[in-house]
Chains A and B, each alone.
Chain A
C-alpha cells in the first residue's frame, strides 16, 4: 500500500487518539454497556493500525475474531449478568486508587523512557515484503510454525469444551443438596445462593 506520508501521519494520529480515549472510556465509564461498545471501537482502531503497518491479513483476523467474536461474547455476558446492584463501599478505596494509579504512571514512564532511549536496530525498508505478507504468514504456519498451529487448534477445542462444561446449566433430575426434583424449565430462576458469605 502506498499512501502519502502526510496521510499516514493523519491516519495514525486519529487512530491512536480513538484507541487511547476509547480505552480510557472502557475503564472509566460508569455503564458497562457503553464500555463494551467502546471496546469494539478500540478493536476496530487497532485493526486500522495493522492496516497502516501493511498487515491486511492480521487486520482482517482482528476484526473477525475480536469484534465479531470476543466483543459479541462480552456483550452477551453483560446481558446475562447485568443486574443493578449497589456495591458495598470499600473503606480504603482512596489509598487503593492512589497506589494503583501511581504504579501505573511509574510503569508508563518507564516504558516510554525505554521506547524513546533505546536504539532500535531497524532493518532496511527495501527488504519489506509489503502486501506479500499473507502468503508469508501461510508459509510460516505450514512450515516452521506447524506444531504451534496444531496445538492452537487443540487449545481452541479444549476451550470450547471447557466453556460448555462450565457454563452449562445442570440438568439433573434431583437436586443434590435437598433431594427435591428440579424443574427443567429453560429460564433461570433466582435461587438462594449456596456460597454467599454471611458478613
Chain B
C-alpha cells in the first residue's frame, strides 16, 4: 500500500490550478475555434486532476471522486464530438474558423 504522505495534496492542486488558468487564457485569447475547444479540454482535465487528488487523499475508501471523473470524461467526449460537428457546419457556412467573425449574436 502506498503511503500518501509522499506528495502533498497541495502539489496536485497547484498543478491543476495552473492548468485551469492556462485553459482560461487560451479560451479568451485564441482566434482559432479548434484551439478554443482544446482549451476547454485543458480546463476539464484540470478539474479531473482536482477530483482525483481529492478522491485519493480525502476520500480514499469510497473513491467517489474517481466515479465523478469517469462521468466528466464521458461528458467531455460528448462535448468534443458535438463541438467539432458545430465547428464543421459553421465552417461550411462561413468558410472561416476565426472566432472574431462569429458575431451574429453580438449586440
Contacts and interface: CB of A to CB of B under 8 A. Distances in A.
Interface string B1-41: 11111110111111101111111111011111011011101
Interface string A50-93: 10111101100110011001100110111011010101101000
Given A81-B91, A194-B93, A160 B81 contact: yes
B25 A19 contact: no
Nearest to A71: B41
A24 B22 contact: yes
A20 B56 contact: no
A122 B91 contact: no
Interface residues of B, number: 84
Interface in B50-76: 52-53, 55-64, 66-67, 69-71, 73-76
Contacts, number: 266
Contacts of B12: 49, 53
Contacts of A20: 15, 18-19, 22
A115 B17 contact: yes
Interface of B: 1-7, 9-15, 17-26, 28-32, 34-35, 37-39, 41-42, 45, 48-49, 52-53, 55-64, 66-67, 69-71, 73-82, 84-89, 91-98, 100-101, 103-104
26 contacts: A9-B6, A16-B15, A20-B15, A20-B19, A27-B26, A27-B35, A27-B39, A36-B34, A39-B41, A55-B66, A61-B70, A62-B73, A65-B77, A69-B77, A74-B80, A87-B98, A88-B98, A123-B61, A125-B5, A128-B4, A148-B71, A152-B75, A159-B79, A163-B84, A194-B93, A196-B101
Given A2-B1, A5-B3, A20-B19, 6 more contacts: A23-B19, A35-B35, A103-B28, A129-B60, A163-B85, A194-B93
